[in-house]
Structures are given as C-alpha cells and as structure tokens.
Amino acid sequence: MCKNDLHKLLKSILKEDSIFVDEPMNSHISFKVGGPADFLVRPTTEEEIQKVFKLAIDNNIPFFVKGNGSNILIKDGGFRGLVIEIADNFSDYHVEGNTITVQTGALLSIIGKEAMNANLTGFEFASGIPGSLGGALAMNAGAYGGEMKNIVKSVRMINAKGEIVEYTNEDMKFGYRHSVLTDEKMIAITAVIELEKGNFDEIKEKMRDLAHQRRTKQPLEYPSAGSTFKRPEGYFAGKLIQDSDLKGVSVGGAQVSEKHSGFVINYDNATATDIVNLIDHVKEKVYDVHGVKLEEEVKILGED
C-alpha cells in the first residue's frame, strides 16, 4: 500500500493531529537516536486502537507498538511502516480497594505514586522503571526482586482478529523478560494490578531507597534503554562485560557505561549505528572471553 493510501485510511480512523508523517523517532525513544517512521499514530480510545491494529494486520503493513520508548532502538534509516504509540494519550487509571485498573500507556512512575497515595504496597519495585505499563507487561519487567507477574491479576487485549479478550495472569505466560505479547501479535489495552494494603510512610521510604539505589548505580544522566542485555542463565551480564575489560569502551558516541557495565549509553551524540556496533562488539568479546552468548534486552528495529 502506498503512503498516500495509508494516510487516507488512517485519517478515516483518527483525528489529523493524532497522525504524524515521516516522524523522527529520536524524540520518541529514550536512546535519543533513530531515523523517521513513515507514520506514527497516537490513538486515544480502545476503538481507535482496535481499528488501527486491524488496518495494519489486514493490509500486511509493518508495524510495532511502543509506549514510552525506553526499551527500543530505532536504526538511523528509520522505520518503514506504522508506529502505534500508546503513551500519555491512553493512560487513565482507577483505584478501587486493593486493585488499580490502568490503561497501558500509563507510566510506571505514575502508577507507583497512585499506589502509594492509596496505601497499596507491592508496586515499589516498578515505580522507578522508566517505562509504560504496556512495555512492562510485554517484557514482564522486574527489578529489586519484584516482577510484573507477581502483581498482575488480568489484562484486556486486542488479538490479531481485532477482538477484545481478557487474559488471566496464567494466560499471560509470564517468564523472564517474556510474555504472550512477545510471541503473538496482540496489544494490551488495560490491566488490573492487585496489590496489598500497606503503610504510606513505609511505602514512600522504600520507593525513596530504590530511587537512591538507581541514581547511585545506574547512568541515569545519559540516554539509554536501561539494561542493554538479558541476564544469561547462571551469570550477570554486567559482570561478564566488566570482566571482559569492556567498561568505558566506546564506538563513536556510544559507550559501555563506566558506572554500570550492563548499560550501553548515548554518551556523546551517538548514532543508532554506533550503538548497534557497540552492542555487537560487546557480544563478540564476551563470547570470546567467557564463551557466553549475550542476548540484547533492547528491541532493535528499522533500517540502517
């Protein structure tokens, strides 16, 4: 389908100010790099998400769904197809008892604050992760001993047929940085988070402590996608990288963080190519030294 035809179809579903043509992706991902997407759309209702998703599926249009863009790397050539952004345009929530029902564009930090204000504990681990609920569900985000699988009661999804279906926690097939969303073409639209009653001051203190740990141990002052590599079974990626004498190594403007070797950062106006080449170099060196194959956690998309 040509771009003009796709644009007309998108305009039949969305308001004009929700459609962005040849949109630079460096302002939409946390690495702050990446070429333009043919189209980026920001639907604001479940119906709009359904229709855009079905349009892409029925017409075999390349697409991906992004939230806050904190775990994505778009290559310098950009993305030929459709980016469906579910972020602050779809981020309502409702607290009732010990549950929070949340649209998947909501930031984890916002959910964490609402949980604290409602004296609900169990979400502290996620409150400092710089991503949206949708991304956290897809990757079963975890930190400091907690994982999404421990607090998700149910998720409403749009399947490849455009139907809205409800998945239980078990249906989500949560695993390490994995869920049914990483295997199948589906979009999560809302989730019910089930927490426990707690003490406001204790929750606040725990969130403050975890935030301090992040600031002191992670290179938050530089653009990145968080932990760049998955944890290999029996190892820690950061230690493998450090023990391979890769801490501080750079390619162009990309660098292995000197604060935390598990982070590849945009240190000095890096290109996406710099970052990809550094990731490849790290993987090769770690395999040469330790015989361990690292797998990137960040999702790399687009054209060179």
What positions carry a catalytic annotation?
177, 227, 297
Degrees, nearest 5: CA angle 157-158-161: 145
3-state secondary structure of 27: helix
Return the C-alpha torsion angle 161, 66, 228, 141, nearest 10.
-70
Task: Choose among 104, 105, 13: nearest CA to 58.
Answer: 13
Q: In Å, what is the CA distance from 183 to each residue of 66, 140, 191, 225, 304?
A: 16, 13, 18, 21, 25
Burial class (CB in 10 A: 0-12, 13-18, 19+), 71: buried
Structure tokens at 245: 């004498």
Residue pair 67/105 in contact by the 8 Å Cβ criterion: yes
- Which residues, in sequence order, are CB contacts of 262 under 8 Å at separation 6+? 227, 228, 229, 236, 237, 238, 241
Task: Choose among 138, 132, 220, 141: nearest CA to 186.
Answer: 138
**Residue 278 backbone dihedrals phi, psi, to 5 degrees:** -70, -40
